[in-house]
A and B are shown apart, each in its own frame.
Chain A
Amino acid sequence: MKKNDYIIKVEDMTVAYSTKPVLWDIDLDIPKGVLMAIVGPNGAGKSTLIKAMLDLIKPVSGKVLFNGESYKEHRKHIGYVPQSESVDWDFPANVLDVVLMGRYGELGWFKRPGKKDKDLAIDALEKVGMKEFADRQISQLSGGQQQRIFLARALVQDADIYFMDEPFKGVDAKTEGAIVELLKELKNRGKTLIVVHHDLQTVPEYFDWVVLLNRQIVKVGPVEEVFTDENLNKTYKSTGQILKR
């Protein structure tokens, strides 16, 4: 990475749905190897921010650079864990099928997943504690299990940067603990993780970097510096949402 400390740079990004702006003039530098939470009130544009960074939504203005390059050069190194309700779990597939999809980017067009890919998928399932579910129909999974499958799918991508949209949504305490362990392990292996997060109470415990977002960036930086009552009040004041902290 030479001297470049920032792995992701967002410059002057504005995002709008039809004509209504959702995110205003976002400038964001994300250093390599952080475990970062994006927090903010409902409707603050948290999911929109990561979707725009991933080019799933076209920004009105601005750009995103990964290691100084555009997203397209980097897509192989980017893992994505969408909200679990974003897909149809009645789709005819088993757990292994879904995890294998994480290998598709590496395989490219036409090539089919082979034995090596299956082994990697099984390994990833083992890491999320779901190995014995490999042949299970995805329609029979609970919310927490769905989330683990998506995580396993991101793991087989062996990406450098992971984007996760509320990975703790609808999971029980045990699964949440397991996911946090996994995120920390990834961070220790030098990966960068960007996580949309809802629960303010757990931010200091789980994350080391935080973005406070409410249509604009309110504050960004290390959790111990930035995650203060004052900044949180700034982030949440326009909403009247009551802080549980």
Chain B
Amino acid sequence: MSPDLEIQIIAVIVAVACSLPGVFLVLRKMSMMSDAITHTILLGIVIAFFLTESLTSPLLIVGAAIMGVITVFLTEVLNNTKLVSEDSAIGIVFPLLFSIAIIIISKYAGSVHLDTDSVLLGELAYAPFDRLELFGRDIGPKAIYSMGTILIINLIFIIGFFKELKIVTFDPALATILGFMPSLIHYSLMTLVSVTAVGAFESVGSILVIAFMIGPPITAYLLTDDLKFMIILSALVGAINGVLGYQFAVYFDVSIAGSMAVMTGVVFLLVFVFAPKRGLVTMIRRRKSQRFEFAEKSLLFHVYNHEGDSDERVELGVDTIQNHVNWDKNFLNKIMKTLKEEKKVYIEDGIVKLTKEGRDFAIKSYEEIVSEF
């Protein structure tokens, strides 16, 4: 395998592994927690390193996972006092734990082979150099296997507890009543986020971990209304971001992790603007057509309410109606033109009148609006 391909495979595995718990972080409105966890786990790693004096010990992952859970726990304790809001609580806990890690590292910089730059930004380009050997044979970069394992764990958790994750996220009160223990699911998910982050940031850095955890899920959220599909779609979007980002980095000869994070933002923006149902363009178009439709109806209601009245000539006069609906002249003309084309109104003797279809339509629309509760 070429290093080129290996890097992309690693990126895809990391992206998919991150997107799985990421979906639930986004739905639980805990996006910023990923930011905190990806940083504070460093303290767990540093402490575990001092205990084991090894950079390869699996205890490093355990330490990171514990620190991730501690981060969530401390945030919740602060938040539950009602003295501090959740985002402020994150703002206190995260820098505190992260800085302790940084101080320890800088104090023992000489003896610790941990450097803060690589933690924040990672270096995917070096990942292929770190090989895994089995019985003396090279079987590929280590990152593929470590992240692959994490990906499988995440998949098992999400598939196995899909129903539980769904109800706990949507309606924690009902989940509690039915015996599903929301806090157990919650902390399991947070442990998973921590383990995923520690596995991923070694190769891609914590900034990209955040981008991979949050970007694809919110992109998918704009594209679908189905939870299962949202999970599949965010894995797909994550993988695409990884590959596109790598191509971009090679083409412009720039940072790989940086390019992938940028791609995540670009793909999100494209979807945000052009998504078929929830995109900005659709929304603006829909709002415009709704405004138009609404104006048509209200004009019909106005005519319906005043037809045959003694002041009909004033209320519905071709030249005076504008004062009554209080619209811009051009807008009124446009609406009138459409209504005439649709044969809902006609002009007789300088007065706007309803056709039979127009009257039926007005009555029907009114009933629809009233029954729409």
B134 interfacial by beta-carbon distance below 8 Å? no
Cβ–Cβ contact A88 & B160, under 8 A: no
How many angstroms from the CA of A144 to the CA of B370 in the assembled complex? 13
User: Which of B175, B225, B373 has a CB less than 8 Å from the CB of A142?
Assistant: B373
B residues within 8 Å of A by Cβ?
27, 29, 82, 160-164, 166-167, 169-171, 173-180, 221, 224-227, 229-230, 371-373
Main secondary structure of the interface of B (DSSP, over half): helix
B162 CB contacts on chain A under 8 angstroms: 112
Closest Cβ neighbor of B231 among chain A residues = A92
How many angstroms from the CA of A82 to the CA of B170 in the assembled complex? 12
Known: A78-B177, A91-B27, A112-B163. A142 touches B372 (CB 8 A): yes
Closest Cβ neighbor of B224 among chain A residues = A92
Known: A101-B170, A142-B372, A175-B373. A92 touches B230 (CB 8 A): yes
User: Which of B178, B221, B372 has a CB less than 8 Å from the CB of A104?
Assistant: B178
How many angstroms from the CA of A236 to the CA of B161 in the assembled complex? 47
Cβ–Cβ contact A105 & B178, under 8 A: yes
**B-contacting residues, A79-137, CB 8 Å:** 80, 82, 86-88, 91-94, 97-98, 101, 104-105, 107-113, 137
B161 CB contacts on chain A under 8 angstroms: 110
Closest Cβ neighbor of A98 among chain B residues = B170
Chain A nearest Cβ from B237, distance in angstroms: 15
Cβ–Cβ contact A92 & B178, under 8 A: no
Cβ–Cβ contact A82 & B221, under 8 A: no
Known: A91-B27, A143-B373. A86 touches B171 (CB 8 A): yes
How many angstroms from the CA of A86 to the CA of B27 in the assembled complex? 15
A174 CB contacts on chain B under 8 angstroms: 371, 373
A181 interfacial by beta-carbon distance below 8 Å? no
User: Which of B169, B177, B372 has a CB less than 8 Å from the CB of A54?
Assistant: B177
How many angstroms from the CA of A50 to the CA of B176 in the assembled complex? 14
User: Which of B164, B171, B225 has a CB less than 8 Å from the CB of A92?
Assistant: B225
Cβ–Cβ contact B373 & A172, under 8 A: yes
Cβ–Cβ contact A109 & B164, under 8 A: yes
Please, what's the 1-or-0 string for A41-69, where 1 marks a CB less than 8 Å from any CB in chain B? 00000000001001110000000000000
A237 interfacial by beta-carbon distance below 8 Å? no
Chain A nearest Cβ from B253, distance in angstroms: 39
Cβ–Cβ contact B163 & A56, under 8 A: no
